[in-house]
Every structure is written in structure tokens, then in C-alpha cells.
Amino acid sequence: MRSAAPQAGPPGLSLPATLRLGLFQGCLGCLAVIFAGLLNRVMITELALPGLLVGVALAFEQFVSPTRIWFGQISDSRPLAGRHRLPYIWLGTLLFCGLAVLSVPLIFQVAALWRDGSGWAVAAGVAALCALFAAYGLSVSLASTPYLALVIDRTTERERPRAVGLIWCLLTVGIVVGAIAISLSLRDLDGVTDPSVLREVLLGFMGRVVLVVLALTLVATLGMEPRSNGPGVDREGSGAGSTSPRDDGPTLRQAWTLITSSRQVLVFFSFLVFFNLGLFLQDPILESYGAEVFGMPIAATASLNAYWGMGLMGGLLLAGLWMVPKWGKLGTARLGCRLIAISLVLLGLAGLTGRVPVLQTVMVLFGLAAGVGTNGALVLMLDFTLPQAAGTFVGVWGLAQALSRASGKVLGGGLLDLGRGLPLRWFGASSPAFPAYALVLGVETLMAIAALVVLSSLNPRQFRDDTDRGLDQVLALEIE
């Protein structure tokens, strides 16, 4: 590793600065609702595209997630214009905003080809849609991985749990705001099935959203990384305020040595995969669940994310302020997994009633459980991140989350199609479509239980001991 003259790191994040930086995370939450909720529902329900096709296309956003490790390592080791994080955040944001606007006309073009086109034309359209979502995922990875590394750069070990909790609360705020914006902006589309009308309204809506995202990204990040700042921290991970020698970050080979130095990395990676599957397997079918089983229009199904987001925010705050101090990080994560499994069972049972208020209540409970589990997982992630290679480790954990989200989209859509094709019956259900959705929710419950099982093998102390030895080996090789 290359060292330069000692420099003081940036000051720690004050509460206002943390909230300002969290605006970017809120923007990502808003866009996530639009892609995973609104566009997903329009493709499956209004445009009648197969759930598996939609799930696979959307999953390409996460199929490119291995690049998160590379982007993290690049931002650790290769500054642009004297900065390690901000140039990558800005470039990625410009790219994913442009691609978000392009996605709307392409979706409707693919739907038209699916109805009337030849086999080759349909294949080309589907390939283009998958490529666009892959490019969108690359852009999000390029922006979000250095962003999370910037949070670690700017905070001390003591400050990080608070900062991460607040930033994820703002992610939730973005989800809620996005859901409310969809509900208010698109309420005139209730009952509309004309593709030309849907296309124009959705394109205008997306254009307004990305302008807001670009503006808020600048507000959130300007001045957050001084030109002379680097990701270097001292061995104890004090982060901000460190006066240790400047380090331009590990090479890819050195980063890989650190990542593979502990079996606990694989254990935590597996936990994140199962945990996120337990949270998001229903993501590609939730709004269609509301439409087909509960008879809800577009604006109403979009509001389900707002109910979930409000519960999520409450769970994040409850866990951060009370549960983690009382029961510890592992204890909170275990409780979260149990609550998620219970809430998924309730979400399935709500479909037997067909009553919208029941579904809305369960979505709040599901969000509350998700908030508790997510807070536990996030503070554990801080324990499983080596400050000397923050961007690289954030990339690894981002890879786990992205792969599970991708798998969830494919499995969610595929299981829905499978359930529709099987002679499933559930007497007393409010809708003949219910058994297929129950299948998805049942498998998702098993994923939450699997995450709980993997947690029993997690040992943060062992991770620290192993990676300290790995870091010593890397430094010894560098000296040689």
C-alpha cells in the first residue's frame, strides 16, 4: 500500500450533516419504490407481461452487483480530482437518472412487441430491457458503494451506529415519500389500461422525479469530502479525526487477501443473502397481490409501500434507541428475523380475508419487523467492515444484498407463475389468485427462518481477530 504524508481526516458528522448526507439515501429509496413497485406492477398487471420475465429483467439491476467490490476498491485506491468518493457518487447518479427516464418508453415498447411482434423482435426487446436494467444497476453500484464508504470515512467508530441508523431512516423516508408521490401523481390512472396514456403519464412523472433526485444529490454531498481527504484511518478504525499516515487504499489483490482472511466473512455474507430474501422475495409481486387478491387500483397499491415504510422507520428507531442497547446486536438481529417470519405468515393470512384494512395493518407490522431486523443487520455490518478497506468491504456486503434482491425478483416472479400453473386450491380464499401468492409468501418465510439459523454461527470477535492477522500479512508483504 502506498503512503503519503500524514493528514488530519475530516471532522466527525454532526446531526445536521448526517441528515443532509442521508438525503441521497432517501433518493435511492424513492427510486427503489418506483422500480420495484410501480413499474413492476404496471408490467405485470396493466401490460400483462409474465411475472418471470419481469422478475428476470428487474433482477439484472442486481446481477451486475459483483462490480460493487470493484467500485469500492477503485474508490479506495484511485481518487479523481483529489477525492475518493464524490466524483464516483456524482457520475453514478447522472447515469442512473438518465437510464431511469429511458426505462419507461422501453417497457412499453417491449409490451407492444410481446403482444404483436415476431419471436426475434420480442427477444431483442427483452434483451434490451435486461441490458438497460443492468446498466441502471451498474450506475447505482457506482454511486452507492463509495457513498456508504464516505459515511464510514466521515465517522468515528462510536458515531457510526447513530449515523447509519439515521441514514437508513432517511432511506425509509424516501420510500414513504416515493409511495405517496406515486399515489398522488397517478391517482387519475385508476382504471386506465390504454398503454399510450399510461406511457405519457409515467414518462412525465419519471422526468420530474429524476430532476428532484439530481438536485437533492448535490445538496446532500457538496462539501462532504474535502479535496485532500482520503479513506485512510488508523488501525483502531477511529475514522474521522485520524492523524495516521494517508493510505491510498489496498490493491485488488490485497483487498481479496483481507476478504478471504476469515471464514466469518462467508457466514455474514450468507446471513445477508437469506435475510434480504426474507425481506424482499414478495417485492416483485406485492402490488399485484394487492390488485388481484384485494382489488386495489394503482394508486392504492403504491400506498402499501408507504405503510411498510412507516413501520420500517418505527422499527429502525425502536431497535436503535432501545433494543440494541438492551439486547445487543446479535440479539436484535435474531428478534428481527423471528418477527419477519411471523409477519410474513400474517401477510399470507390477510389474503384469506380480502380486506384492504387488514392488508394495510399487516404491512405496518411487516415494516416494523423489517426495521428491527435491518437495524440489527446494519450495526453488525459495521462490526464486519475493516476501516482500512471500507469501500471494499462495503462492496462485499452490497454484493450480498444485491444478489439476494436479484434472486428474490426472479424467484418471486417465477414462483408466482409456477403457482398459477399448478392446480393449487385454497378453500375459503377471497380470490382464485390467492394460492399462487401464498406460495411466494410461504417460501419467503422459510428464507427468514434460514437467516435466523445462520446467525447462530456468527462471531464478530473471530472476524476481527482473523482480519487483523490478514492485515498484518498484507503490511508485511508490502514492507518486503
DSSP-based helix, strand, coil % in the chain, nearest 5: 80, 0, 20
Burial bucket for residue 367 (CB in 10 Å: 0-12, 13-18, 19+): buried
Of 171-175, 307-311, 369-373, the range with the lowest mean pLDDT is 171-175
> Would the CA dihedral through 299, 109, 195, 433 be positive or negative?
negative
Give the containing element (helix H, strand E) for 470.
helix 460-479
For residue 76, give Cα distances in angstroms to 160, 307, 386: 19, 38, 12
Most confident option among 170-179, 187-196, 248-257, 427-436: 170-179
Q: What pLDDT band is residue 3 in, cutting at 50, 70 and 90?
A: very low
Q: And the C-alpha cell for 132? A: 438497460
Of 91-95, 230-234, 259-263, the range with the lowest mean pLDDT is 230-234
Strands (E) located in 55-147: none
Q: Is the pLDDT of residue 330 over 70?
A: yes
Regarding predicted confidence, which is higher, 25 or 424?
25
DSSP bridge partners of 3: 247
Most confident option among 114-118, 151-155, 276-280: 276-280
Q: Is the pLDDT of residue 329 over 70?
A: yes
400-442 per-position pLDDT tens digit: 887 888 788 888 888 988 888 877 666 556 677 888 899 999 9
Identify the structural domains of the chain with CATH numbers, from first to last.
18-222+251-469 (1.20.1250.20)
DSSP bridge partners of 247: 3
> Would the CA dihedral through 64, 378, 93, 410 be positive or negative?
positive
Q: Is the pLDDT of residue 204 over 80?
A: yes
DSSP bridge partners of 80: 83
Q: Is the pLDDT of residue 5 over 50?
A: no
Separation CA 65–CA 55 (nearest Å): 16
What is the pLDDT, as a whole number, of residue 246? Answer: 37
Most confident option among 54-63, 243-252, 426-435: 54-63
Q: Is the pLDDT of residue 250 over 70?
A: no
Q: What is the mean pLDDT of the chain?
A: 82
Most confident option among 191-205, 219-233, 345-359, 370-384: 345-359
Q: Do the beta carbons of residue 48 and residue 375 sit within 8 Å?
A: no
Of 146-150, 209-213, 253-257, 430-434, the range with the lowest mean pLDDT is 253-257
Residue 161: which of 272, 317, 269, 25 has the closest Cα? 317
Regarding predicted confidence, which is higher, 263 or 363?
363
Regarding predicted confidence, which is higher, 261 or 104?
104
259-314 per-position pLDDT tens digit: 777 788 888 989 999 999 999 898 878 888 998 899 888 778 878 888 998 898 88
What is the pLDDT, as a whole number, of residue 322? Answer: 87
DSSP assignments along 17-46, one per residue: HHHHHHHHHHHHHHHHHIIIIIIHHIIIII
* Residue 71 Cα to chain centre, angstroms: 16
Q: Is the pLDDT of residue 243 over 90?
A: no
Of 37-46, 122-131, 315-324, the range with the lowest mean pLDDT is 37-46
What is the pLDDT, as a whole number, of residue 235? Answer: 36
Q: Is the pLDDT of residue 153 over 80?
A: yes
Q: What pLDDT band is residue 9 in, cutting at 50, 70 and 90?
A: very low
Q: What pLDDT band is residue 4 in, cutting at 50, 70 and 90?
A: very low
Regarding predicted confidence, which is higher, 430 or 169?
169
Of 180-184, 251-255, 404-408, the range with the lowest mean pLDDT is 251-255
